[in-house]
Each structure stands twice: as structure tokens, then as C-alpha cells.
Amino acid sequence: MGDRTNRRLQALKEIYDEQRAWAHDKKAVSRNLAAVNANARLAVIGEAVGPRTLRLSGVSYFDYEGNIGRSGKFLDAILGSWGYTVYPPCDVRVPGGTVLCRPGQGRKTAYCSDLCPVFPGYQPTKSGKTRIRRPTPQLINSALDRSFLARELNIIKPRVILLLGKHAYASVYGHFLKDRPTESLSTVVREIDSITFRRYNGAIVVPMLHPSPASPAFLQWIKASQSSAPYKRFVQRVTSYLQTGTGE
């Protein structure tokens, strides 16, 4: 591991320590630096930390025992088209087991972060059960005001920033690009092969539906898209940006 990588990891660790202190989450563990690719050309930005993966394991999209989550499986399949993966670059010990790198071998590890680096908690439903709470505007703004994500991206310097979900889409456009989106996320994703990508510090910003198995919109899109010509053109464009920094 080179000096530049070590410096980047140390700078990221300082941010992660700040995030844990800000979150006041007693269940959260420290992010495992062994799973972080500090030189990734692809950065994936989710909406918020989930209840059972990074929060308990220290590795994005993997749980306490080292198993990949359901959203992580879908995301990994998408990233595979570009030669990237959510699996770490080496086997990583987590509190209840090991995250194996083997399923992702031959691909590069994407840098994964979240718009809101804390678990927002649960909320009751009309049926009397609970569901994961969406991050509130106040919580998102609090994280953005502390420049957690801005500093992470400044350290990583990716060529492609993939946004997962409508909160990441709206907040990154509004806060980082200073331009609130005029089209819905579903509209953008339907036309993803032909849109002009916005740029942030040289990286293209790519909006995407959140890869949740609980999202009918995502399941419908992924089923219809992956074998289609427009999706293949989209994959080619993003691949070109990752390889050369240009895609037109």
C-alpha cells in the first residue's frame, strides 16, 4: 500500500470518527478500513445507513456475520457491468464472521458512502408494524452542513458518482450542483442512456433508482432494462468515463 493510499485512508478515518460521534448510535461499529478502496474511480452514494449492514459490520452492504444484504446483491450486479463490485479487495473480519472477497475477484471495489451517514431509525405503520424511516430533511442538512460527503469525495476523487434513490438525487443536485432537479428520478432513469450527465469536481453524476428488493419501480426497471439496447449504451458510456474520464 503506497503513501498516497495511506494518507487517504487516514483522512477518511478522521471523517468516519466524526460521523460516529455525530450519529450518537451506540450500536454502530467503526468502519473497517480494510474494506475501503481509497483510490476508487467509482463512488456510490446511498441515502442513509441501513439498520443491519455497515452499522453493525463496519462494511457497506454486508451484515454482522459477513453476508451481503439484498440491496447489495442487486447493486453488485449493476456494478459488475463496469468492472466494479461492493465486495472488499481482501477478506475482512467483521464482528460475527468474515466478508469474503472471492465473489468480487477480478473487479475493483467501489467506494461506498451515504448522503446521511447514520441509521435514521424506525417509524410505525398503519398496520401496527414498523418500517425503516426515511432520513428527514433536517437530518440530511445536518450531515451536509458538516461536509462529511464533500470531504470524502474530495479525498477519493472519483470519475463517476452513482446516486442511489430520490433523496441522494435531490440533495446532491441541490447541495453540490446548486441546481434542484426539474425531472423526477424515474424520468431521468428511463432516459439514462441519452441524458447529459452533470459534473461535480470533474466526475459525472449518475442518478439511479435505489436497488431495493422492496421497490417495485426498481424491480420493474431492472427486469426490463438489462437486456435492452438503451441500457447497454448507458453501460458503455459509464465504462468509458471510468476508463478514460470521457464518455462522449
pLDDT in tens, the chain (248 residues): 689 999 999 999 999 999 999 999 999 999 999 999 999 999 999 999 999 999 999 999 999 999 999 999 999 999 999 999 999 999 999 999 999 999 999 999 999 999 999 999 888 888 878 888 888 999 999 999 999 999 999 999 999 999 999 999 999 999 999 998 889 999 999 898 889 999 999 999 999 999 999 899 999 998 888 789 999 999 999 999 999 876 55
- Domains of the chain and CATH, by start: 3-244 (3.40.470.10)
In angstroms, the CA 24 to CA 139 distance is 13
Neighbour-count burial for 31-53, b at 16+ CB within 10 Å, e otherwise: bbebbbbbbbbbbbbbbbbbbbb
* 3-class state of residue 132 by DSSP: strand
Give just the sign of the alpha carbon dihedral 213, 79, 141, 12.
Answer: positive
- Output the CA–CA distances (angstroms, integers) from residue 111 to 37, 105, 157, 225, 226, in the order listed: 6, 16, 10, 25, 23
Q: Give the pLDDT confidence score for residue 182 in this predicted structure.
A: 85
Contact call for residues 72 and 45 (beta carbons, < 8 A): no
Residue 42 parent element (H or E): strand 42-48
CA 241 to chain centre: 18
Residue 149 has a CB neighbour count (10 Å cut-off) of 25
Q: What is the DSSP-derived secondary structure letter of residue 162? A: E
